[in-house]
Structure 1
Amino acid sequence: MEKSEVYSQELAKLQDIFADVDPSKAQLVEGLLEDAAFLKAENTVLKKALKITGMVKIHPTNPDLQKPVEAARQYLKNVNSYSVIIKTLNSILNKNIIDEEDDDMKEFE
């Protein structure tokens, strides 16, 4: 799958998840949704390359000499950034759910 396809699918998935969120919150997280989709697409490309090269280069005559591949470093940075974004988005979703439950409980007060 091409990077642009991965981006489009991830963005559509995230936008679908946030479809029922308060419009002001949805507008607030719009950039995070795009960043998450971008990182997912970038990591798809890096992961394909890492399947070929591996994450560490090992010296052919001295296996004790090892060197991390730059793509592996970037992949891990992207994973960490993606994880932070997803946690942030999840906390906004959970806050939205709690707010909705509070609204439902007001009917019984």
Structure 2
Amino acid sequence: MSKSEIYKRELSKLNEIFEDVEESKRKLVEGLIEDAAFLRSENHVLKQIITQTGMVKVHPEHPELQKPTESAKQYSKSVKDYCVVIKTLSGVLMRNTAEDDEEYNKILEEMRKNA
């Protein structure tokens, strides 16, 4: 799958997840959703490179001499960034759910009073 296809798929998935979120909140996190899709697609490419090259270069004559590849360093950083973005987006979803629960509880209480 191409990087572009992964980006589009991730963007579509995240937009679907956020379709029931209040519009103002959804607009607020629109950039984060795009960033998450971008990071996911970049991570896919880096992971393919790492699969071919490995994460660590080992000196052929001195195996004790090792160093991480640049793609491994970038992948590690990018995964951490992706996790932060997803955690932030998840927090927005949780707040939205909590507000929905609050609204639901208010309606139930009102119904009990009127019963």
By how many angstroms is 1:23 displaced?
Answer: 0.2
Alpha-carbon distance in structure 2 between the residues aligned to 1:48 and 1:16 = 27
Query: 1:100: which partner in 2?
Result: 100
Number of aligned pairs?
109
Alpha-carbon distance in structure 2 between the residues aligned to 1:3 and 1:49 = 13
By how many angstroms is 1:12 displaced?
Answer: 0.2
Render the CA deviation track for 1:28-52: whole Å, top value 9, x for unaligned.
0000000000000001000000001
- Runs ≥4 residues deviating over 4 A: none
Query: 1:35: which partner in 2?
Result: 35
Alpha-carbon distance in structure 2 between the residues aligned to 1:45 and 1:17 = 24
Query: 1:50: which partner in 2?
Result: 50
By how many angstroms is 1:102 displaced?
Answer: 0.3
Query: 2:18: which partner in 1?
Result: 18
Structure 1: tracts of 5 or more residues without a match: none
By how many angstroms is 1:69 displaced?
Answer: 0.2
By how many angstroms is 1:67 displaced?
Answer: 1.1
Q: State percent identity of aligned pairs.
A: 54
Query: 1:89: which partner in 2?
Result: 89
Larger Rg computed on CA atoms: 2
> TM-score normalised to the size of structure 2?
0.93
Structure 2 counterpart of 1:98, one-letter code: A
Structure 2: tracts of 5 or more residues without a match: 111-115
> TM-score normalised to the size of structure 1?
0.98
By how many angstroms is 1:95 displaced?
Answer: 0.3
Structure 2 counterpart of 1:61, one-letter code: E
